Structures are given as C-alpha cells and as structure tokens.
Structure 1
Amino acid sequence: MIEKNQSPNRWLMLTVLFLARVTMGFQYQAVAALSPLFADSFAIGLTDLGILVGLYMSPGVVVALPGAAIGKLFGDKRVVSFGMILMIFGGLIMAFGWNYPLQLTGRVVAGAGGVILNVLMAKMVTDYFSGREISLSMGIFANSWPVGIGAALLILPLVGNTAGLIWAMLTVVILIFIGLLLFYSMYVEVNVDQVAAKSTDKFKISGTALLALLCAGIIWAFYNAGLAMIFAFAPIFLLEKGWSLLSANSTTSIVLWLAVISIPIGGYLADRTGKKDFIILGSLITFSILLSLSAHTDFVISIYILIGLFAGLAAGPIMGLPSEVLTPENRGIGIGIFLSLFYVGVVLAPILAGALLETTENPGAAFYLGSVLLMLG
C-alpha cells in the first residue's frame, strides 16, 4: 500500500485504474455473453435483450455530469469506491432477480456505478498524464474495456453452461469486489484538484473549447456505438448462422484481444508522430468498411482479425482529445460533458440495433447501422 505522503508512480496508478476498470467491461458484456440463457430464463426476445444491454450505459446520460461534480466535492477515490459498490449491488439484484423487471432494475443500478467509475477514472488518468503521453496512457486505460469484455466472452459462457445463470452473474460480482479492494488499497489521488479548487468553484470554458469538446464527445460516441455492434450482436449473428454459443463468443473475442494490441499502438503512434487526426480518420473509415463487410461474408474470422487490428488504433487519440482543451480547473466537468455524449450514443445504438434486427429479420442489420455511425464520426 502506498502512503499519502509518498509520491505515487503514475504508471502504477494507471495499472490500478486499468485493473479496476476491467470489471466494468466484464459486467457490461455479461448480458450479451449469456444472451441465450437470459432469453430462456426470462422469455425475452432480441429487442428486450438489446434494451438490457443498453441499459447499463443509460444512467450515464444523467449521472455523468453530476458524478464529476460529486467527485470534486467528496474526492474522486471515495466516489469511485461508492460507484463500485453500486456495481456489486446491481449485480446481486441481477443474480437473484427472478423476472425481467428485476433484471432491468439491477442493470440500471450497476450501470449507475459504472458511470461514476468511468467518468472519474478518465479524469484521474488525465490528472496524471495531461501534457505527457496522454494518448498512450488513455489508450492503455481504454484497453481495460476490451480486456473485460473479452474475458467475459471467454469465462461467462463456460460458467453459465456448467453452473447456470445465477453463478455466472455471481462471478461478475466477485470480480468487481476484488477490483474494489485493489483500487481502494492502492490508488493515491494526485493533488491537481487542490490547485483547481483555489481558482474557482464554477465551470468556465471558452466557446471554441466547448465546441471542440462536444465534437470529440460525438466522435467517441459513434466510435463506441460501432464497437457495441460487435460486442453485443456478433454472438447473436453467429448463432443465427449455426455456430455454437461457445464458438460464437470465442470468435467475437478475437476483435477484443487484437484490440488490446492495437489500442496502445495507436496511442503510442499519436504521441510519437503528432498525427492524431490522421490516425483517428484512418481507423474509423477502415473499421466502418470492415464492419459492413462482416455482415455478408463467410470469412468471418479474417474480417474480425482485421477489425481488431485497425479499430483499436483510434481509441487512445480520441480519448486524449479533451485534454487539449481542458485545464485542471474545468477537467472534471469537461470530461463529464465528453462522456455524457458517449453514453447517449452507446445507450441508443443497441436498442435501435435490436429493433432493426426484429423488424428486418436481417442478422447483419446491426453491423450496417454501426458502419453508418462510424462514417458519421
């Protein structure tokens, strides 16, 4: 454990944040990874599954901004710990909930905790790395999401098929509890807020900087909406093509594990070359084309390999964009605005995709939607 009077190693702090945030990706992916079990247990269709997937992010639309302000008032570490407790409580409701309304309730509660974790941890990384290796550090931080999702795709179907849905959801809760213990015992807050608090209690930002921040938030929202089409609906798409649940989830996880490699590479290249815009644009266009192709090809594994290699390049540079216009004084609220837009996108996209799947009866409809959103980004 690091004492408060010691100067913390920023890379160690990034590692602690990374490992704690893995639990969020793991919990988010639980519904999609266990979709046949949820469908059978609660007699729900694709639209209801899409709602259940999207609800995890839904509290972000209203919680992201207040969460940032509460973090400034009570301390980021305390509020993140509270958020992880909410994730545990919501996970327990889902594990023992006997009907669909209880699943919805648990998903919202857990999602509210995840929002708090996500917003404040992004601010924590920026506090430690603003102005130096910000794209690389944000790329590593962002990597915790695909690591958590990929782990869920590999672990939860095995637990669910052998021990049942309840034990699979309890596995999620146990992992979050371990992450909470690690975070609370190891993380040390940087002192940047002491300077910010002395300057002003109000959020101040220029019109130009606010516009840039909003544009960055929209790009991040569309980018993650495209990823959500893979994470949430690729297993369903492959099941429709006759694949087994384990094979469908394992194949989908190819994107995640290759993104684990490409995300920090994209961040490193952006910092090294200074060509953030070029890397973001190239990654989004390539991802869009490949996602569209994946809807009507038999070379699924090859396409997923390419998606994993190219899609991840943009993550770090996009997440680093807010640091270019935010100062320590407005950083918490600014990142709250940035992630509020992200949450709007990732909430609406799975719901819309689920409705498209049922309306068109085309298993690839979600991929076409994701491709369009990526081009708009």
Structure 2
Amino acid sequence: MRNRWGILAVLFIVRLTMAFQFQSVAAVAPLLGAKFDASLADIGLLIGLYLTPGVALSLPGGEIGRRLGDKATVAGALLLMLIGQLAMVASDSWGWQIAGRLIAGGGAVLLGVMMTKMVTDWFAGKEIATAMAIFVTSWPAGIATSLLTLPAVGTVYGVSAAYLSVAALIGLGIPLLVVGYRSPSIAAAAPSAPSRLDRNTLFAVIIAGLIWGVFNIGFTMIFSFGPTLLVERGWSITAAGSAISIVLWLAALSGIAGGFLADWTERPQSVLVIGCLLFALLMLMLPRSEAVIPIVIAIGAISALPAGPIMSLPARVLEPQTRAIGMGIFFTVFYVVMMLGPAIAGAIAKWAGSAAAALDFGTAALLACPVLLWGYNRIVALRPQAA
C-alpha cells in the first residue's frame, strides 16, 4: 500500500489494539475483583503496570527500531502483547496477572513510540497535524470498543473469555501490519550526530511530558474507575461499561476538533486551558449528579480538546537534530506519570471506600495542567530565540 491515508488507517487499527488491551483490566474490574479477591488498589496497580515498561524502554525504543526496522519492531511489539495476554489467560495466579501485564506493556510501549515515528515519516510537511490528531484518536476508540464489548463477554463467559478476545484482536493486528504497511519511499534522514539539549529545552520537554501525563491521568480516571463508580450506584457492569464508552466515542471526534480549533484560531494554549478547566468541572459533577448520561456526553465532547495542543508543545522547543532524544524524554516522563497515577488513584479510592475519590483525583490532575503550562511558558521565554 502506497497511499498515505491508507497507511494511516492501518496504523490506526494496529494502535487501537494497544488501547483495547490497556482497558481490558478496567472493563472487567468487578469480575476480576470477585475472581482474585482484588481490591480497588490492586486493580489500579494492575492498570498502571501496563505502562510501567515505558520508563525503561521509551529512550532506547527509537534505537531498537533503527536497528531492526520499523515494521519488524512493531511486529515484535505485537507479539510481546500477545504473549503477555496469553500468560494472563493461562493462570489464575495474581502473580501471573502482573507478569503478563508487564510483558504486554513492554510490547505496547515499543509499539507506541515506533508508530508515532512511522506516522511522522509518512506525513512530515503534509497534513501532519491532521494525521496525528486522527492517529491519537485510536486510543479512545480502542478503549470505547473495549468498554462496549468486554464487560458483556466477561459477564456471560468469564474473565478468561474476555482476555482471549483481546488476544484475538492483537493476533489479527500482526498480519494486518505485515501486509498493509510499507515504509515511505523517501523517509526523512536523521542527523548523524544528534545535538544535546540545553538546560532550558530539557526542562521544557520534561514539563511538556508532565502536562501530557497529568492530563491523561484525568482522562484515564473516567474509563478506569467510571464503570466501577456506576456499579457502586446500582448499574450492571454491562450498562456501566456502555455508558462510559460514550465518553470515548465522542472523544475520538473531539480530539480532531480540538486540533482543528487550535490551528484555526491560532491559540492552541487557550484551547488547552479552557478544555482542561471545563473537563475538570464535569469530572467533579459526575459522582455527585444523577444526570449521568448528559454529563458523560458533555465529558466526551470536551475531554479530548486539549490533546492536540498538548502534543504540539515539544515541537515548539525541539530542533530536527534533537527530536529523537527529546521525544524519548517526553515519553519517559509521560510513562512515569501514567505508571504512578492509576495506582495512587486506586489507593485513594480504597481509603475513601468509593471509586468517586479516584475521579476527584482526576479532577485535581486536570487543574494542574494550566499551572504546569504556565511553568512551561516561563522556561520557553528564557530560551534564546532562533534566528
């Protein structure tokens, strides 16, 4: 396939498997709790473990891809995801649930880093913002699909059947990638001697990674603890998963709309700040209101608006020769935050005795984003302007 939009469709579907697998634990959390006698803190830890390997693999991920090739690296990543998922199916031990989650997460991290680079190869200088916005929406689309299908499968056939459904989707992703993806005929050449980041640029990239991580913590609380919140309020697990999935389906559209709005108004940071504040307000309302569906719809329409503007922050300070190491640092910070966030949220929910506390934690995370953005802008202002 040589059509770049067709290539983007292949990459979208393959990355969707990562989101589907990430959400598989939260989608059947009440069933896991019953099967393994797991608390909300245990579930939160298992959710967060999926992204833990990113702390170690984000920086070397690009070098691994350079040595093995893009397609081979992503195919290997999918294979790791499949092996980890099958390990979770094969054993009723909680220790194997943790091990399988870490193995799958290692593959997912490599997949995420490399596929972002693959999209850039095909769209650099050609609708890159639109392509990235579409690519990023594979995450909420995959999570929504997981919420819509896995609770029903798990309720009828058990947790193992839900896990096998995840393995089947990942298995289908491997031949799709092998057959459907080709590298562009002329790929941008990487500089032979990457430059080092100056101190202010390094700090700016770290804060940008913090903003992306903290924002995603707020977003993650909705689909990680939202279903459990509704089950606590008397909903069935299937109805709760379907209701929360509305957020993800609408977020898939609002993310693209946010990128377009940021470009059209030429005020991406205003979109970022207003989006985070409105999202935080709705998060605060959800556990305290009976109007669940209207609030869920509003969250879906608002929640992903800041995504594009946030992802543009590293590009503002990174030169072509520093993008590889800069994005490695950006994703390392992101994965550290995403590793800790769900575990902390689960512990808070256990202490408070309700999943509502996890959503309040997400609200606080969203409110921190404008504060971090202020710090980012202060540091960027100290950098010497390019000629």
Say whether the fold is shared (TM-score over 0.5).
yes
Q: What letter is aligned with 2:233?
A: K
Q: Which whole-Å CA distance do the structure 1 matches of 2:157 and 2:354 have between them?
A: 32
Q: Which whole-Å CA distance do the structure 2 matches of 1:243 and 1:16 have between them?
A: 36
C-alpha displacement of 1:181? 1.3
- Quickly say closer, same or farther: Cα 1:135–1:99, change in 2 above 3 A: same
1:136 maps onto 2:130 in alignment: yes
1:286 maps onto 2:278 in alignment: yes
- Quickly say closer, same or farther: Cα 1:314–1:191, change in 2 above 3 A: farther
Q: Is the 8 A contact 2:121 2:188 kept in 1?
A: no
C-alpha displacement of 1:88? 0.4
Q: What letter is aligned with 2:316?
A: E
Partner of 2:372: none
Q: Is the 8 A contact 2:278 2:302 kept in 1?
A: yes
Alignment coverage as a number of residue pairs: 369
1:324 maps onto 2:323 in alignment: no
What SS does structure 2 have at the residue aligned with 1:313? Answer: coil
Q: Which whole-Å CA distance do the structure 1 matches of 2:9 and 2:304 have between them?
A: 19
Q: Which whole-Å CA distance do the structure 2 matches of 1:33 and 1:317 have between them?
A: 29
Partner of 2:31: 37
C-alpha displacement of 1:72? 2.2
Partner of 2:264: 272
Residue from 79, 90, 102 that aligns with 2:84: 90
Q: Which whole-Å CA distance do the structure 1 matches of 2:126 and 2:368 have between them?
A: 30
C-alpha displacement of 1:129? 2.9
Q: Which whole-Å CA distance do the structure 1 matches of 2:21 and 2:205 have between them?
A: 28
C-alpha displacement of 1:348? 0.9
What SS does structure 2 have at the residue aligned with 1:330? Answer: helix
Report Cα offsets for 1:254-280 as digits up to 9, x if no partner.
110111111111112223332211111
C-alpha displacement of 1:133? 3.0
Report Cα offsets for 1:316-342 as digits up to 9, x if no partner.
222233333334443333222111111
Q: What letter is aligned with 2:137?
A: N
Partner of 1:352: 344
Report Cα offsets for 1:124-150 as digits up to 9, x if no partner.
223333444333222211110011100
Q: Is the 8 A contact 2:246 2:300 kept in 1?
A: yes
Report Cα offsets for 1:291-340 as digits up to 9, x if no partner.
11112111111111111101111112222333333344433332221111
**Within 5 Å, which residues of 2 pair with 1:295-374?**
295-374=287-366
**Within 5 Å, which residues of 2 pair with 1:159-174?**
159-174=153-168
Partner of 2:174: 180
- TM normalised by structure 1 equals 0.93
Q: Which whole-Å CA distance do the structure 2 matches of 1:47 and 1:319 have between them?
A: 30
Q: Which whole-Å CA distance do the structure 2 matches of 1:134 and 1:289 have between them?
A: 31
Q: What letter is aligned with 1:177?
A: G
Q: Which runs of 5+ in 1 are unaligned?
A: 3-7
Q: Which runs of 5+ in 2 are unaligned?
A: 370-387
What SS does structure 2 have at the residue aligned with 1:195? Answer: coil
Residue from 214, 217, 221 that aligns with 1:225: 217
Partner of 2:380: none
Q: Which whole-Å CA distance do the structure 1 matches of 2:324 and 2:64 have between them?
A: 10
Q: Is the 8 A contact 1:258 1:308 kept in 2?
A: yes
Q: Is the 8 A contact 1:229 1:350 kept in 2?
A: yes
Q: Is the 8 A contact 2:229 2:354 kept in 1?
A: no
Q: Is the 8 A contact 2:73 2:110 kept in 1?
A: yes
Partner of 2:379: none
Q: Which whole-Å CA distance do the structure 2 matches of 1:184 and 1:334 have between them?
A: 29
- Quickly say closer, same or farther: Cα 1:251–1:362, change in 2 above 3 A: same
Residue from 156, 162, 166 that aligns with 2:150: 156
Q: Which whole-Å CA distance do the structure 2 matches of 1:49 and 1:324 have between them?
A: 37
- TM normalised by structure 2 equals 0.91
Q: Which whole-Å CA distance do the structure 1 matches of 2:45 and 2:17 have between them?
A: 21
Partner of 2:73: 79
1:114 maps onto 2:100 in alignment: no
- Quickly say closer, same or farther: Cα 1:152–1:356, change in 2 above 3 A: same
- Quickly say closer, same or farther: Cα 1:169–1:64, change in 2 above 3 A: same
- Quickly say closer, same or farther: Cα 1:130–1:288, change in 2 above 3 A: farther
Q: Is the 8 A contact 1:357 1:366 kept in 2?
A: yes
**Within 5 Å, which residues of 2 pair with 1:4-15?**
8-15=2-9
C-alpha displacement of 1:76? 2.1
Q: Which whole-Å CA distance do the structure 2 matches of 1:315 and 1:274 have between them?
A: 15
C-alpha displacement of 1:158? 1.6
Q: Which whole-Å CA distance do the structure 1 matches of 2:330 and 2:173 have between them?
A: 25
Q: Is the 8 A contact 2:122 2:187 kept in 1?
A: no
Q: Is the 8 A contact 1:284 1:314 kept in 2?
A: yes
C-alpha displacement of 1:9? 2.8
Q: Which whole-Å CA distance do the structure 1 matches of 2:13 and 2:275 have between them?
A: 26
Partner of 1:204: 196
- Quickly say closer, same or farther: Cα 1:318–1:133, change in 2 above 3 A: farther
1:248 maps onto 2:240 in alignment: yes
- Quickly say closer, same or farther: Cα 1:17–1:332, change in 2 above 3 A: farther
Q: What letter is aligned with 2:314?
A: P
- Quickly say closer, same or farther: Cα 1:96–1:246, change in 2 above 3 A: same
Between 1:76-85 and 1:241-250, the stretch displaced more is 76-85
Identity %: 43
- Quickly say closer, same or farther: Cα 1:12–1:317, change in 2 above 3 A: farther
Residue from 49, 52, 60 that aligns with 1:66: 60
Between 1:256-265 and 1:106-115, the stretch displaced more is 256-265
Q: Which whole-Å CA distance do the structure 2 matches of 1:16 and 1:209 have between them?
A: 34
Aligned-pair Cα RMSD in Å? 1.7
Q: Which whole-Å CA distance do the structure 2 matches of 1:250 and 1:170 have between them?
A: 20
